[in-house]
Structure 1
Amino acid sequence: MRRSRAIAAGGSQSLQQRGPGDGWKRRIEIASEVHDVTRLRAFSHGSLAPGRYIRIAISDAGPGIDEAVLRHVFEPFFTTRAAGSGLGLATARDIVREHDGVMNVWTKPGVGTSVEAWAPCIMEGVSEPSRPRLPVGQGQHCWLWTRITRNCSKAKKFWRPSVMNRSDLPAPARR
């Protein structure tokens, strides 16, 4: 979970750093989908063997990335922003590589940029998380029997709630 936050943080930082003055529309889209790759597929920054992959894409409707800049976008500490660290895409690429995936960048001047992360989709052995089943009653009534004390400090020390079936109660309380 921490790693997916790191990837999303990079897109968020980019969104905050730019504004209407540089021709960038403040719109970002995040999409994910499963793809079956049937033959070797080449991308801008790697290639994939046939198999099932998950594709996560972060896209904007900005000015695009210049060809000279595009060659360096995954280099650590490379940035075009004064306040940038240059670690966002480099970190994202390393995370994707750790999962045997690749990155792809599509950009067009005046249209925008899409950065895609492709990683193997592992479905074997995956099951729905099991939730503990709560015991279900069988129509009997339950009572919460409490002991009330005037002294609050003693109440904290001695008060113990307990759940009882009606049959556990003394006869006068059953009415």
Structure 2
Amino acid sequence: MTTERKVAKFFNLTDENWMKHSNPWSVWTRYSVLPLIVFAFWSRIWIGWWCLVPGIVSLLWMFFNPIFFPRPSSTKNWASRSVMGERVFLNRDTIKIPEIHTGGIHTILNLISSSGMILAIWATVTYSVWGAILGIALAYLGKSWYLDRMVWLYNDMKEKNEEYKSWEY
């Protein structure tokens, strides 16, 4: 079982929920999660332990966002294809993907994104504005580039697999 499949299982991404997550509103609003979490825990300087309330709400938003929106009216857009590409990528242990998509670039991009998240967390603890901005920017640079690779993967695989092709409408 791939790591991505374990994450999808944690977020309850069933076939139907994957299609809900492919709604562009789900993809684009998910970009709000890290700044909301940083701001929520940063606010401890002003509101003390009450910062846990927006912090927990932000974490709940991260968890429920993929299933919050309805299926999109069309999946012929970058955001939807990025999610469908993620789904193809997590299936790589059962349906082979082209070699060009199996290199270490995904690991590098996830390391960039993870480094940004770690920097953002450190910056939140130490109240470093520039660290938080740089951390969030790095996290989103890595994630956006990763999602762009997923669009490429989906576009390559949809003509090779009928199920994948059926996701686009």
TM range (shorter): under 0.3
| TM-score of the aligned structures, taking structure 2 as reference length | 0.23
Choose 1 or 2 for highest CA Rg.
1
More helix by share: 2
Task: Answer 1 or 2: higher relative contact order, Cα 8 Å, separation at least 6.
Answer: 2
